[in-house]
C-alpha cells in the first residue's frame, strides 16, 4: 500500500507532466538569434550592454502588469520577429530551477496590452510548475536538441550556473544584456538591443495597437 505522501508526490508529478505536455504540445522549436557569424562554441568570456528602462510606470499601473511580464513579452515579440513562425514563439526563462520554456501564441490582431496579460498568466503558471529541464524533456517526449536556447530572460534573482550565449535581465533600473563574445558580435548585439528598445517603447506608447505592429517594429 502506498503512503499518502507518496500518493501526493505521484499526483504532483502527473500534474506537472500534464502541464508541460499541454504547454509545449504544439510549440515550435526555440528561435535562434542572429549571432553575426562568430563561433558557435561558447568561450565563457562575456560583455555587457545596458540601457535605461522606458518610462513605463503609468503603463504598468494602468494595465496591472509587472515590469518582468512586459520585458518577457517584448523579448518574445523580438524572437518572433527573427523566427517568423505564424503559430507562436518559445521564450527561455532563467530561474532558480534552471531554464524553463515559455510557449506563447502570437495572434497578430490581438491588442498588445491584452496579449501581455495572457503572457503574464502563462509566465506565472510556468513558475508554479518549475521543474528540471530534463524532466520536462521526459514528460513531453521532445528531443534533447529541441531545448537549445540562444538566449534567455532572467526572471529570478538567484540562478544556477547556465551556459548561455545571451542573458537579458532587469537590474538597477536598467535592462542588461550579457553575451558571450565568441558567439555574438557587438554589431549583432547592438541591432538586437535597438529592436528590443523600440518594441518596449511602442508597447508603452501604443498599448491598444495589434501585435503585428510591434513584432514588425524596426530598431
pLDDT at residue 41 is higher than 80: no
Residues 6+ away with beta carbon under 8 Å from 13: none
Other Cβ atoms less than 10 A from the Cβ of 130: the count is: 15
| Integer angstrom CA distances of residue 83 from 41, 53, 159, 206, 216 | 21, 25, 27, 23, 12
Lowest mean pLDDT among 5-14, 97-106, 184-193: 5-14
pLDDT tier at 213, thresholds 50, 70, 90: confident
Whole-angstrom distance, CA of residue 121 vs CA of residue 115? 10
Q: What is the pLDDT of residue 1?
A: 41
pLDDT, one tens digit per residue, over 100-153 is: 999 999 888 899 999 999 999 999 999 999 999 999 999 999 999 899 898 999
Please give the average per-residue pLDDT across 92-106, as a whole number: 92
More confident residue, 217 or 109: 109
Domains and CATH numbers, the chain: 4-215 (3.30.559.30)
| Integer angstrom CA distances of residue 82 from 21, 32, 51, 140, 159 | 25, 8, 21, 25, 27
Amino acid at each position: 500500500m502506498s503512503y499518502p505522501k507518496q500518493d501526493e508526490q505521484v499526483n504532483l508529478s502527473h500534474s506537472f507532466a500534464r502541464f508541460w505536455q499541454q504547454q509545449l504540445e504544439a510549440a515550435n522549436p526555440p528561435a535562434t538569434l542572429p549571432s553575426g557569424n562568430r563561433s558557435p562554441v561558447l568561450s565563457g568570456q562575456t560583455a555587457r550592454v545596458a540601457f535605461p528602462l522606458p518610462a513605463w510606470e503609468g503603463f504598468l499601473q494602468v494595465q496591472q502588469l509587472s515590469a518582468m511580464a512586459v520585458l518577457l513579452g517584448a523579448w518574445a515579440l523580438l524572437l518572433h520577429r527573427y523566427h517568423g513562425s505564424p503559430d507562436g514563439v518559445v521564450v527561455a526563462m532563467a530561474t532558480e530551477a534552471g531554464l524553463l520554456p515559455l510557449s506563447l501564441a502570437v495572434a497578430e490582431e490581438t491588442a498588445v496590452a491584452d496579449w501581455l496579460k495572457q503572457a503574464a498568466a502563462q509566465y506565472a503558471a510556468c513558475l508554479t510548475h518549475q521543474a528540471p529541464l530534463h524532466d520536462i524533456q521526459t514528460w513531453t517526449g521532445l528531443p534533447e536538441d529541441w531545448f537549445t536556447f540562444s538566449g534567455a530572460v532572467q526572471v529570478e534573482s538567484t540562478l544556477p550556473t547556465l551556459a548561455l550565449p545571451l542573458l537579458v535581465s532587469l537590474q538597477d533600473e536598467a535592462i542588461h544584456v550579457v553575451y558571450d563574445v565568441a558567439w555574438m558580435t557587438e554589431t549583432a548585439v547592438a541591432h538586437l538591443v535597438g529592436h528590443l528598445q523600440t518594441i518596449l517603447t511602442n508597447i508603452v506608447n501604443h498599448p491598444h495597437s495589434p501585435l503585428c505592429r510591434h513584432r514588425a517594429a524596426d530598431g
